[in-house]
Chain A
Amino acid sequence: MSENPLSPHIQIYNWHISSLVSISHRITGVINILMLSLLCFWVWALIFGNDNYQLIFKFFNSVFGKFFIISFIWSYSFQILSEIRHWFWDLGYGFELKTSKITGVLVILGSIFLTIILYSIRGFLF
């Protein structure tokens, strides 16, 4: 007799909106910490002179830099909206299947919407 196998789990289990938003919440959380550290590093680098500013300025205006900024804005928007959803859960609201599905979709769509808005008005902010 051989050792009992483990039945398949994540390999076969369907994704639901709620599980997708949940894992994305975690991933964006990690991304945000990394990105914030990078921003702090940027500010720190400015102390050491004008050249650094030019370098960073160039980076953020390159294609990759823009991709970087858009990803960051999305990641932050997602995290904030998803966190608001979590607050309501913590207060005990929004657990019905239908409600949680709708709020999940709202978080996804809202994060895309917020990204577009924030990116298009960035000129007024900075």
Chain B
Amino acid sequence: MVQINLPQNSKIKKGHYYKDKTGSKNLRKVNIYRWDPSTGENPRVDTYEVDMDNCPSKVLDLLNKIKNEIDPSIAYRRSCAHGVCGSCAMNMDGKNGLACTKPHSEIKGDINIYPLPHLKVLKDLIGDLSTLYKQYESVQPWLKTTKKSDDTEHHQTKEDRSKLDGLYECIMCACCSTSCPSYWWNGEKYLGPAVLLQAYRWIIDSRDEDRKERLKKVADELKLYRCHTIMNCTNACPKGLNPAKAIASIKKMLATG
């Protein structure tokens, strides 16, 4: 359901201000969403003054610098730092992306960092993605075939293989799903762009023998057709993929039979 306002316990309060102690002349203000489950207080936005002369180029570097040098209590997910694992997905400057691939020089003015939108916050920049993972599981993202091939590969023509381009690269970082207003309002039922792209990835796979069943399962007013082509997903994808197009392809397959 559409709920524009945040619930009472989610209203954001003004937080602490961490003044620069290095004496640097090249400072930037970084505003970061904070929520500590142990205090019982509302979330707040803390502001940090960061010395940019000694900071590498990406937003993740900036966060690491703050965590290492200013405030070790700040929590966020990160792992590979090369845009492959999808852990550091967050909302930077009003748009979802990976902190490890987003240069902070692209952001004008203060740098605002929030968790991925419309998720249950576990701590600071860490959102709860368990609903999304359950939905991912529901599309059964594995190869279904009766062919027995214990010792050889499942063969595929080059053309069939190329159909998976733009789909297999998805790292399930959830930037797209959490950018989608439809997913905000109907996240429990609507599968969202990330999961639908994955569903399409298996529907279109020539080696898979379960296409009809897969299509039947996804053909649902809420699961699929809550996509209204808002295109926030494609705008957000840090890998340059096109979930909106994948969803449209499913719709088209269903319409044309």
- Identify the A interface with B (CB < 8 A): 1-14, 16, 18-19, 22-23, 26, 86, 89-92, 95-97, 100
Contact = CB atoms under 8 A, between A and B. Distances in A.
B231 A13 contact: no
B121 A12 contact: no
A7 B117 contact: yes
B106 interface: no
Contacts of A3: 9
Interface string B176-195: 00010100100000000000
B206 interface: no
Given A1-B37, A7-B119, A9-B184, 17 more contacts: A5-B6, A5-B35, A5-B42, A6-B121, A8-B12, A8-B33, A9-B181, A12-B94, A12-B117, A13-B91, A13-B117, A22-B230, A90-B255, A95-B242, A95-B244, A97-B234, A97-B235
Given A6-B121, A13-B95, A18 B235 contact: yes
Nearest to B244: A95
A2 B6 CA distance: 16
B131 interface: no
Given A6-B6, A7-B117, A22-B229, A16 B91 contact: no
B229 A5 contact: no
Nearest to B112: A12
Given A14-B95, A86-B229, A4 B252 contact: no
B235 A6 contact: no
Interface range for B: 35 or more
Given A5-B121, A89-B248, A10 B230 contact: no
Nearest to A14: B94
B9 A5 contact: yes
Contacts of B114: 7-8, 12
B4 interface: yes
Contacts of A97: 231, 234-235, 242
B118 interface: yes
> 7 nearest interchain CB pairs?
A14-B94, A18-B231, A5-B10, A95-B245, A9-B117, A9-B118, A2-B40
Nearest to A91: B252
B122 interface: yes
